[in-house]
Amino acid sequence: MIIAELKKKENIVEYILYIRQLLDIMRANNMDISKIDELLVSKFEVSEKEKLKIHNWYLSLIEKMKAEKIEHGGDLKEIKDLIAILNKIHLTLLDDNKEYRHHELYNWAKPNIAEYKKLSKSNSDNEIEICIDAMHALLLLKLQHKSISEETAQAMQTFGALLANLADVYKKLTMNN
């Protein structure tokens, strides 16, 4: 809860990846709040009152997952909406010839996006979603202590740079609203 709120303010891409990671944890623990309390809530060194808030936040996340019928896979509507917003920003930046940095980062990542889309058999045409999917897959591999090739590491670096730029633009746009 506390971490999610901070990530949402500071870096929207990290927030998306963090929520996806939490969804994976909820699913791996069969949406059982007592397991989540043991695995996550108990690790926070905060007051009992704060632990209750955190417990309730995780419980509401489980309830959202059930309401949106994503207990076995998929993103929350909020996450889908955020990815769509990031993609819209991405496309707007690509349409602006003055956005040299974004064009450069995109051109660096573009062949890797196409390759990842092919390898992952993704049906998505949203290149930002593909980058986020790739970064999520990388996090899962790291959690499993699996090694990745130098080529994959370099491709992920291109995705990370593109997404970091988008997160910065998003933050600037939302700070003004």
| Residue 150: per-residue pLDDT | 94
What six digits make up the tokens of 72?
Answer: 């076995």
Report pLDDT for 4. 86
Q: What is the pLDDT of residue 71?
A: 95
Number of structural domains (the chain) is 2
pLDDT at residue number 177: 59
- Of 39, 67, 95, which residue sits at a domain end? 67
Mean pLDDT, all residues of the chain:
94
Task: Looking at the structure, tell me whether residues 56 and 87 fall in a common domain.
Answer: no
Q: What type of residue sits at position 121?
A: K
Encode pLDDT of 58-75 as tens digits: 999 999 999 999 999 999
**Residue 128 corresponds to which tokens in the numbers above?**
């930002």
Domain that holds residue 22: 2-67
Same-domain status, 45 and 121: no
Sign of the CA dihedral with 31 first, then 33, 34, and 36 last: positive
Residue 176 pLDDT? 65
Phi/psi at 5 (5° precision): -60, -40
- Rounded distance, CA 163 to CA 132, Å? 8
pTM of the model: 0.93
**Ranges in the chain, pLDDT < 70:** 1, 176-177
